[in-house]
Amino acid sequence: MLEYIRYAVVSASLLVLTACGGGSTSQKNSAQQVPSVSSIQTGQAETYIHLVLDELKISKKELSVSNGITSSPISENIDLNISKKEEAIIGVFNQSGQPILMGKKGAGESKVDISLESSAEIFVLYHPLFNGLEITDIKTLSDRIRSHKKFQDLVNLLKNEIESSNPCPMDPVCSPKVREIAIGIAEDLNLSDLH
Protein backbone atom coordinates (compact mmCIF):
# COMPACT_ATOMS: atom_id res chain seq x y z
CA MET A 1 0.00 0.00 0.00
CA LEU A 2 2.74 2.44 0.93
CA GLU A 3 4.58 1.63 -2.32
CA TYR A 4 1.38 2.42 -4.27
CA ILE A 5 0.98 5.78 -2.52
CA ARG A 6 4.64 6.69 -3.07
CA TYR A 7 4.49 5.76 -6.77
CA ALA A 8 1.24 7.61 -7.38
CA VAL A 9 2.41 10.75 -5.59
CA VAL A 10 5.67 10.78 -7.57
CA SER A 11 3.79 10.21 -10.85
CA ALA A 12 1.25 12.93 -10.14
CA SER A 13 3.93 15.30 -8.85
CA LEU A 14 6.04 14.94 -11.98
CA LEU A 15 3.08 15.71 -14.19
CA VAL A 16 2.04 18.66 -12.05
CA LEU A 17 5.58 20.06 -11.80
CA THR A 18 6.13 19.92 -15.54
CA ALA A 19 2.67 21.28 -16.22
CA CYS A 20 3.21 24.24 -13.92
CA GLY A 21 6.78 24.90 -14.99
CA GLY A 22 6.60 25.19 -18.74
CA GLY A 23 4.55 26.40 -21.61
CA SER A 24 2.57 29.47 -22.27
CA THR A 25 -0.67 30.58 -20.75
CA SER A 26 -2.84 33.49 -21.51
CA GLN A 27 -5.19 35.58 -19.40
CA LYS A 28 -8.32 33.77 -18.31
CA ASN A 29 -11.59 35.36 -19.25
CA SER A 30 -14.25 34.93 -16.57
CA ALA A 31 -17.01 35.05 -19.18
CA GLN A 32 -15.29 32.45 -21.34
CA GLN A 33 -17.45 29.75 -22.89
CA VAL A 34 -16.07 26.30 -22.15
CA PRO A 35 -16.62 23.87 -25.00
CA SER A 36 -17.03 20.14 -24.46
CA VAL A 37 -14.92 19.43 -27.55
CA SER A 38 -11.71 21.27 -28.37
CA SER A 39 -9.02 20.68 -30.97
CA ILE A 40 -5.28 20.96 -30.93
CA GLN A 41 -3.38 21.77 -34.08
CA THR A 42 -0.22 19.69 -34.42
CA GLY A 43 2.49 19.60 -37.10
CA GLN A 44 0.93 18.04 -40.21
CA ALA A 45 -2.15 16.53 -38.60
CA GLU A 46 -4.60 17.43 -35.89
CA THR A 47 -4.93 15.83 -32.52
CA TYR A 48 -8.40 16.28 -31.13
CA ILE A 49 -9.06 16.58 -27.43
CA HIS A 50 -12.55 15.53 -26.48
CA LEU A 51 -13.25 17.16 -23.11
CA VAL A 52 -16.28 15.89 -21.27
CA LEU A 53 -16.85 18.57 -18.65
CA ASP A 54 -20.60 19.03 -18.84
CA GLU A 55 -21.25 16.14 -16.44
CA LEU A 56 -19.34 17.93 -13.66
CA LYS A 57 -20.90 20.53 -11.41
CA ILE A 58 -17.82 22.72 -11.08
CA SER A 59 -16.68 26.14 -12.24
CA LYS A 60 -14.83 25.64 -15.49
CA LYS A 61 -13.54 29.17 -16.05
CA GLU A 62 -10.27 28.65 -14.11
CA LEU A 63 -9.33 25.32 -15.71
CA SER A 64 -6.43 24.72 -18.07
CA VAL A 65 -5.27 21.82 -20.23
CA SER A 66 -1.68 20.59 -20.22
CA ASN A 67 0.44 17.80 -21.66
CA GLY A 68 3.12 18.32 -19.02
CA ILE A 69 5.16 20.64 -21.25
CA THR A 70 2.71 23.29 -22.43
CA SER A 71 -0.45 24.62 -20.79
CA SER A 72 -3.40 26.37 -22.35
CA PRO A 73 -6.63 27.76 -20.92
CA ILE A 74 -9.67 25.82 -22.04
CA SER A 75 -11.01 27.48 -25.17
CA GLU A 76 -12.02 26.69 -28.73
CA ASN A 77 -8.36 26.56 -29.85
CA ILE A 78 -6.04 24.75 -27.50
CA ASP A 79 -2.44 24.64 -28.69
CA LEU A 80 -0.31 22.03 -26.94
CA ASN A 81 1.82 21.12 -29.97
CA ILE A 82 1.34 17.36 -29.70
CA SER A 83 2.66 15.25 -32.54
CA LYS A 84 0.40 12.48 -33.78
CA LYS A 85 3.39 10.12 -33.41
CA GLU A 86 3.90 10.65 -29.69
CA GLU A 87 2.22 9.21 -26.65
CA ALA A 88 0.92 11.75 -24.18
CA ILE A 89 -0.91 12.10 -20.90
CA ILE A 90 -3.08 15.21 -21.06
CA GLY A 91 -4.73 16.68 -18.01
CA VAL A 92 -7.28 19.27 -17.05
CA PHE A 93 -5.84 21.27 -14.16
CA ASN A 94 -7.54 23.41 -11.54
CA GLN A 95 -6.39 26.90 -10.55
CA SER A 96 -3.97 25.35 -8.01
CA GLY A 97 -2.19 23.41 -10.76
CA GLN A 98 -3.58 20.04 -9.67
CA PRO A 99 -5.01 17.60 -12.22
CA ILE A 100 -8.73 16.96 -11.90
CA LEU A 101 -9.18 14.92 -15.09
CA MET A 102 -6.71 13.06 -17.27
CA GLY A 103 -6.61 11.21 -20.57
CA LYS A 104 -4.02 9.26 -22.51
CA LYS A 105 -3.11 9.42 -26.19
CA GLY A 106 -1.31 6.52 -27.81
CA ALA A 107 1.28 6.89 -30.54
CA GLY A 108 -0.45 7.31 -33.89
CA GLU A 109 -3.80 8.27 -32.36
CA SER A 110 -5.35 11.56 -33.37
CA LYS A 111 -7.90 11.81 -30.55
CA VAL A 112 -7.71 11.84 -26.78
CA ASP A 113 -10.73 11.64 -24.51
CA ILE A 114 -10.55 13.44 -21.20
CA SER A 115 -13.47 12.41 -19.03
CA LEU A 116 -14.32 10.90 -15.68
CA GLU A 117 -13.91 7.45 -17.25
CA SER A 118 -10.46 8.17 -18.71
CA SER A 119 -9.40 9.69 -15.38
CA ALA A 120 -10.64 6.66 -13.42
CA GLU A 121 -8.71 4.40 -15.80
CA ILE A 122 -5.52 6.40 -15.23
CA PHE A 123 -6.12 6.19 -11.47
CA VAL A 124 -6.06 2.38 -11.81
CA LEU A 125 -2.86 2.62 -13.88
CA TYR A 126 -1.14 4.45 -10.99
CA HIS A 127 -0.80 1.04 -9.31
CA PRO A 128 2.86 -0.05 -9.08
CA LEU A 129 2.15 -3.36 -10.79
CA PHE A 130 2.02 -1.39 -14.07
CA ASN A 131 5.38 0.28 -13.37
CA GLY A 132 7.83 -0.98 -16.00
CA LEU A 133 5.35 -3.52 -17.37
CA GLU A 134 5.25 -3.50 -21.15
CA ILE A 135 1.66 -4.09 -22.15
CA THR A 136 1.31 -5.37 -25.72
CA ASP A 137 -2.41 -4.68 -26.03
CA ILE A 138 -3.37 -1.35 -24.45
CA LYS A 139 -6.91 -1.46 -25.86
CA THR A 140 -7.63 -4.81 -24.19
CA LEU A 141 -6.19 -3.52 -20.91
CA SER A 142 -8.42 -0.45 -21.14
CA ASP A 143 -11.45 -2.62 -21.88
CA ARG A 144 -10.69 -4.86 -18.90
CA ILE A 145 -10.35 -1.92 -16.55
CA ARG A 146 -13.55 -0.27 -17.79
CA SER A 147 -15.57 -3.50 -17.69
CA HIS A 148 -14.57 -4.31 -14.09
CA LYS A 149 -17.59 -4.61 -11.80
CA LYS A 150 -16.28 -1.77 -9.57
CA PHE A 151 -15.28 0.63 -12.36
CA GLN A 152 -18.53 2.63 -12.29
CA ASP A 153 -18.18 2.94 -8.49
CA LEU A 154 -14.68 4.35 -9.10
CA VAL A 155 -16.04 6.84 -11.67
CA ASN A 156 -18.83 7.97 -9.33
CA LEU A 157 -16.50 8.37 -6.37
CA LEU A 158 -13.99 10.34 -8.44
CA LYS A 159 -16.82 12.60 -9.62
CA ASN A 160 -17.82 13.21 -5.99
CA GLU A 161 -14.21 14.07 -5.09
CA ILE A 162 -14.00 16.60 -7.94
CA GLU A 163 -17.37 18.18 -7.19
CA SER A 164 -16.69 18.38 -3.45
CA SER A 165 -13.81 20.77 -4.16
CA ASN A 166 -11.10 18.26 -3.25
CA PRO A 167 -8.02 20.33 -4.22
CA CYS A 168 -6.22 17.27 -5.65
CA PRO A 169 -8.76 14.59 -6.66
CA MET A 170 -6.31 12.68 -8.91
CA ASP A 171 -3.81 12.32 -6.05
CA PRO A 172 -4.21 8.99 -4.21
CA VAL A 173 -3.31 10.65 -0.89
CA CYS A 174 -6.05 13.26 -1.31
CA SER A 175 -8.60 10.68 -2.48
CA PRO A 176 -8.08 7.58 -0.32
CA LYS A 177 -11.48 6.01 -1.07
CA VAL A 178 -10.87 6.37 -4.81
CA ARG A 179 -7.41 4.87 -4.28
CA GLU A 180 -8.84 1.82 -2.49
CA ILE A 181 -11.26 1.00 -5.33
CA ALA A 182 -8.52 1.58 -7.93
CA ILE A 183 -6.18 -0.78 -6.05
CA GLY A 184 -8.88 -3.44 -5.97
CA ILE A 185 -9.51 -3.13 -9.71
CA ALA A 186 -5.78 -3.24 -10.55
CA GLU A 187 -5.20 -6.30 -8.40
CA ASP A 188 -8.21 -8.13 -9.88
CA LEU A 189 -7.03 -7.75 -13.49
CA ASN A 190 -5.62 -10.71 -15.39
CA LEU A 191 -2.57 -9.30 -17.17
CA SER A 192 -0.80 -12.56 -18.04
CA ASP A 193 -1.78 -12.43 -21.72
CA LEU A 194 -1.07 -8.71 -22.13
CA HIS A 195 2.71 -8.61 -21.69
According to the model, what pLDDT value does residue 85 have? 80
Check whether 7 has a pLDDT greater than 70.
Answer: no
CB-based contacts of 96, cutoff 8 Å, min separation 6: 167, 168
Q: What is the mean pLDDT of residues 25-53?
A: 50
> What is the distance between the alpha carbons of residues 177 and 86, in angstroms, rounded to a whole number?
33
Tens of pLDDT, residue by residue over 113-126, are 999 999 999 999 99
What's the rounded Cα separation, in Å, for the pair 178 and 12?
Answer: 15
User: pTM for the whole thing?
Assistant: 0.76
pLDDT at 79: 66
